Structure 1
Amino acid sequence: MRNILRLRPVHHILVTSAAVLLACAAVLALQLAEFGQARAALEGFGPQTTATVTGSAEDSATVRFAVPGRPDVSATIGLDSTPPANGSRVPVRYDPADPARAVIPGATPLITADRASTYATVTVVAALAVLLVTGFLLLTRFVRPARAAVRSTVPVRRVKLQRGLLTRSWLETEGATPRWIPVYFSPTLIGLPSPVKVEVLGDLRQDRHVAVRVAGEVLYPAGATRMAEPRGRRTDNPAGPDEERSAAAVRPVPLRHQFRTDLPVLAVAPVAGVFWALVDGSGFTGWLVVTVLIAAFGFWWAALRGSDPS
């Protein structure tokens, strides 16, 4: 297990997983702070009665209701939803010490508290999902394949396939029934001739995830082996590496270069944030939360899929 943790793709996955967890922690802290402020704004509310709407604006409503032992009270309440129609009757809760301080369904503190609690819950669930998925994939894509015995030796070609914003490396086997094995990036892939013989760790016909060994290095699967050619813009390795490729094959590729390569994956994050803020009506806070989470999950998703920075 210790050797597994030293692998470059495992470092990539763990770093991006940590980034997601940090983003989730930041969002959770923000939502808990907003929830606390909203709850503080609701402190002191006690009795509930029925009020009549006497006026409304785009983001507020004025209601009038009876208070025992006092004249009828009129209160203007800020809203984060569509104001009720004039003349309609709505439930209202008020502060006995200051009846003009009241809330009705859709009041800003109520919506803020509800939204913050929902965001916080979703964030916790997302963080737990990241931990579970990361652990499961480390087991199925690294630990189990590393323990498998060599079952066959097959000729393969390394191909790069770009689909959308993501580029991945695949090993295409030769033969009557070819297979396509997605692999995590290693500089060794750059210098592989086409074809080259590799040792398959596991049963290529039956196992969902198989690793291969070439030139003494194990290349780990970045997904399930396929029987049909994956879609995308294809680039094949040449029959033999030139001097530049041979040099690149032995030159380490730092993770910071990997992250720069993955930056296009983040392009959708601010756009999705704007869309969510408009739909949810959560404004800048909603945009920030969604943008940060999608950006972090984008890096993580690219790492899990085995993005190729070469």
Structure 2
Amino acid sequence: MLGTVTLIILGYTGFRFAMALGYLPVGVPGGAERREVAVRRVRQQHRLVSRSWLEFTVGGRDRWLPVYFDPKLVTLTQDSAELAGRMVFVEGHRVYPSGRVRNSEPVGRLIDNPVRPDPEALTRTGLGRRLLLDAQSAVVGPFAGLLWVYASGGGWSAFVAATLVAAAAATWLATIRGSDPS
């Protein structure tokens, strides 16, 4: 079972990195030509999930692109971004997509970036805060451990092992989807 979970995690991680690095399409319209578009960063808060999105208009339609968190995004005010095929550059800095472009507004509460950058914003984006945000979904671990012990038997050690694997997988999933600690 542990081997299967490891194989799934490695395969999905490879897929997400290939998409972020531009080897797989993310759906940014316009093909390979480079162009400038007005962009603003919004933070989505939906249940326990917090993600960064870039909102821009292409061809008269609003689009939303989820991106992996970068501290540079916290200080981003309404600016322009350069779309170049499958790559996005904001203020000359490459931002990596964490999913496909959406034509509809993401669910949940969208929080705009301020008009002026907050000088203390970068202090709220450390590794501890990111781990605290991502580890919230690890609460599923004990329930998965109980289910595992009930379904396949085993004792206390099987419960602890299944709980740790489920908690680590839940934390990994929150991280790989592109959480935002700001």
Name 2:121's counterpart in structure 1.
248
Matches within 5 A, 1:71-82: none
Partners of 1:292 and 1:273 lie apart in 2 by: 8
Query: Counterpart in 2 of 1:128?
Result: 7
Contact 2:37 2:80 in 1 (8 A): yes
Indicate the percent of aligned positions where both proteins have the same amino acid: 38
Q: In the alignment, what sits opposite 1:288?
A: 160
Post-superposition offset of 1:252: 9.3
Structure 1 residues 150 and 188: alpha-carbon distance in aligned structure 2, compared to 1, 3 A threshold: farther
Determine the structure 1 residue equivalent to 2:89: 213
Q: Secondary structure of the equivalent of 2:61?
A: coil
Q: Does structure 1 residue 173 correspond to structure 2 residue 56?
A: yes
Cα shift at 1:187: 1.0
Aligned to 2:43: 160
Which residue of structure 2 lines up, in the alignment, with residue 99 of structure 1? none
What TM-score, normalized to structure 2? 0.83
Alpha-carbon distance in structure 1 between the residues aligned to 2:162 and 2:66: 30
Paired residue secondary structure (1:144): coil
Change (3 A) 1:187 1:216: same
CA deviation after TM superposition for structure 1 residue 219, in Å: 0.6
Name stretches of at least 5 consecutive residues in structure 1 with no aligned partner: 1-121, 203-209
Give the whole-Å Cα distance in 1 for the aligned partners of 2:165 and 2:4.
13
Deviations 1:24-60 (A, max 9, x none): xxxxxxxxxxxxxxxxxxxxxxxxxxxxxxxxxxxxx
3-state SS of paired residue (1:306): coil
- Provide, for residues 114-163 of structure 1, a one-character-per-residue CA deviation record: whole Å limited to 9, x for no partner: xxxxxxxx221221222222222222211538xx9552211112111122
Check 1:142–1:252 CA distance in 2 against 1; reply closer, same or farther (3 A cut): farther
Partner SS for 2:97: coil
Distance 1:154 1:246 in 2: 26
CA distance 1:214–1:246, change in 2 (3 Å):
farther
How far apart, in 2, do the equivalents of 1:229 and 1:220 lie? Answer: 19
SS at match of 1:308: coil
**Which residue in the other structure is 1:234 paired with?**
110
* Alpha-carbon distance in 2 for matches of 1:180, 1:281: 46
Aligned twin of 1:222: 98
Corresponding position of 1:187: 71
Question: Residue 262 of structure 1: which of 112, 134, 148 is its match?
Answer: 134
Alpha-carbon distance in 1 for matches of 2:83, 2:119: 23
Whole-angstrom distance in 1 between the partners of 2:13 and 2:136 = 22
Q: Residues 278 and 132 from structure 1, CA distance in 2 versus in 1: closer, same or farther, beyond 3 angstroms? A: closer
Equivalent residues of 1:141, 1:221 under 8 A apart: yes
Measured at CA, do residues 150 and 189 of structure 1 come closer, stay the same or move farther in structure 2, by a change above 3 Å?
farther
Note if 1:297 corresponds to 2:169. Answer: yes
**What is the CA–CA distance in structure 2 between the aligned matches of 1:252 and 1:232, rounded to whole Å?**
22
| Change in CA separation of 1:181 and 1:135 when aligned onto 2, cut-off 3 Å | same
SS at match of 1:221: coil
CA offsets 1:219-277 (integer angstroms, 9 cap, x no match)? 10011111111101221112232xxx14535x694434321221211112113323443
What CA distance in whole angstroms lies between the structure 2 residues aligned with 1:262 and 1:142?
A: 22
CA distance in 1, matches of 2:173, 2:54: 21
Query: What's the C-alpha RMSD, in Å, of the aligned pairs?
Result: 2.4
Counterparts of 2:124 and 2:136, CA distance in 1: 22
Structure 2 Cα separation of the partners of residues 278 and 124 of structure 1: 20
Q: Residues 182 and 225 of structure 1 are in contact (CA less than 8 Å); yes or no, is this contact kept in structure 2? A: yes
